[in-house]
A and B are shown apart, each in its own frame.
Chain A
Amino acid sequence: MQLVNRFLEKVNNMSHQSKNNTREIKVDYLARVEGEGALRLLIEQDQVKQAQLRIFEPPRFFESFMPGRDYKEAPDITARICGICPVAYQMSAVHAMEQICSNVEQAPETKSLIRDLRRLLYCGEWIESHILHIYMLHAPDFLGYDDAIALAKDHKNIVQRGLRLKKIGNEMIRCFGGREIHPINVKVGGFYKLPTEEACSALLEQLNWGRQAALETIEWVSAFYFEDFEQDYEFVSLYHGNVYPLNEGVIKTRSGLSIKPNAFEQHFFEKHEAHTNALHATFGEDQNYFVGPMARYFHNYAQLPRACKQAASDAGLNQACYNPFKSIIVRAIEVLFAFEEAQRILEDCMQSSFSWCDREIALDLTVQAGIGYAATEAPRGLLWHRYEIDEQGVILSAKIVPPTSQNQRIIESDIGKVAQQNVMKNDQDLTHILEQAIRNYDPCISCATHFLNLEVVRL
């Protein structure tokens, strides 16, 4: 064993100590996750004693430097928390700020247009982010490749399909947000300038192909081999009775709690642990919970369009999925949903008699002192914001709870259980399945430190 360990230390950059039947597995820098994190596992006589997900991405102190800034800057500043899901931060920020501002009576078609186009913009981010994860970060694990570029050497058409899907998601963001990373067109109240009719038509033309390619993606990923691993998760997501949730709804738990975003802090708590720069969130005193695509799917299956339900059933999914290794299928179903929803919105809006192209569309808001709360569904799960501002619109305090810090405890719990289930595997194979168990959550470490390396210790 010691010889094997020494060999692995050399080839795998993992450090091991082997004494008293203890083994330690470490991965110092997890690959194919967004941001910096590490994993450490301690195994004593084939029993997993400790599993830690260490987020060492340095803290950036967003909540500390927001006070003193203008409320209108919130969507631009908070976008910088994450280059992969800036739209999510912008959406939570603008909805929280709009809850504070007093709203002059507005034409209902303006309100409904802004609501629809914000959903459309968010669909673009779900597509871009989910496709990045499915094709470039997660699928290579299932197929035994180091990355999508190596995958492309054997399966060029598949990788090209993924790249084209991702490009369409980015084009949706560009069309309504101005640019794909840190969009500039989102303002408190609405949009600075909406795209021209020509730009909307050009986008619409691509959505049919996208829908078809999304169906092919579901078929592709549902044929992968999945670890047998089902857990009794406490799913937490937005729930909206009429639509699959993006920007609106109540926060719902599987155990039956249903609250407005305003009451989040009374039920969910953030804790600071020594091994990580991300705050851990708990439900109640000490309960782990699960946010993200599987949680949304659990609470909102009924609101999915018929085509998505059919595709889910064809892929072998029931109305709930409890195996995080299968989250890749749920993500693919959400990609199909995003295409369906984007097409529906764009067609409806373009047929509307209300003229909105190529001009500013925003609510007429008056700033006042107050506290605003919002929760929206980032690609990785629930993203909660709270701001307090004064009568001039100066931010007095900000609190942001990103999805990955909420999932951190459940990821650690999964790592421990997956490790126990695979404890007879050699360190290299064990390490690999644990990395996969982490990638199941598409963790966004940059977000979580407002986070991966693998470290396995076997004693």
Chain B
Amino acid sequence: MTRLVYMDNHATTPVDPRVLEAMLPYFTEKFGNAASRNHAFGWEAEAAVDRAREQIAKLINAKAKEIIFTSGATESDNLALKGVVEFYKEKGNHIITVATEHKAILDTCKALERKGLVTVTYLPIDECGVVNPDDVRKAITDKTILISIMQANNEIGTIQPLHEIGKIAKEKGILFHSDATQGVGKLPVDVEAMGIDLMSFSAHKIYGPKGIGGLYVRARNPRVRLAAQMDGGGHERGMRSGTLNVTGIVGLGKACELAGELLESESERILRMRERLRQQITSALDEVYLNGHPMQRLPGNLNLSFAFVEGESLLMGLKDIAVSSGSACTSATLEPSYVLRALGVGDDLAHTSIRFGLGRFNTDEEVDYVAERVIREVTRLREMSPLYEMAKEGVDLKNFNWARD
């Protein structure tokens, strides 16, 4: 194994060669502005955009015109939340969401709270990361205008019960948004069956290019309206102005088409690889803990805590393997993962967590190599760890008198 192994597919994915091939003509030959209504260059670009809308809509059981293009899931999340809050402000000002949402949701909520525009309820999750639909129901007030709950978590892979939550939202007449960035193209998504009114997604998580994403905005039952956050030429039915990123859109469309074709077979294969990785590691090492739900989980996600071994030092030892960690040392803010904290995982174990993200281009060979290296480095680091030594001697680490400043 001479190349670096990439196993961080929740962070981003490589562009599938077939996606790249679909995009290329739109850079130099068919480069028209999709809004140029008066010549063939424009019509050609517009046709490509329309095709992409169809490809995306098919993947999620929506109508083509219900797809709005944005610069990515973060912008989609911002547009959904801020757009709804602004447009429906006469109706209410309360949002319900979950403590383990992506920062694009949580930070947007905090910004809206700071401006005094909303109050937000951040629901807790159980120790597997699942939100209880009853908690959603109980949190609803007569001021609630939006429920926002992600389909699958990017850190621990846990899948939320969207069907049940969608039913509650419909019953109470509240708009239901889902950040489905990690789920679209990997799990079945059906906006009708799930009762979803708004949905964010991104190309670069599903083997498409970075810088392009979409927001599904329901057109009927009910017709969802948004206050635009990007003003200008009135593109995307007045919801998001700005010349369309045709090349990106073509890429996103193709990525969705491929994902739809491959969804079943690929998710099976990736699940098998993940279980292979998990079993090899957990059969060779003790004191390894799975973070997140064991079954209701993204097929490619494996998040493990290796007790007594700090995450960043393990990443250093696995320097030819790309994975990530929930350790404070790997975050810009030196805070351990808030997702693991919300699970009730103690900070000590949060520091020991590693997230593996398997994807389309990983192989069994890579899985075996990674398992072997992980086992070796964890063993080595445990030999160097005072905590492992103390635990083996029977010292109660929870009640030890740690000397800290």
> Do A and B interact with each other, yes or no?
no
A contact set with B: CB distance below 8 Å = none
B contact set with A: CB distance below 8 Å = none
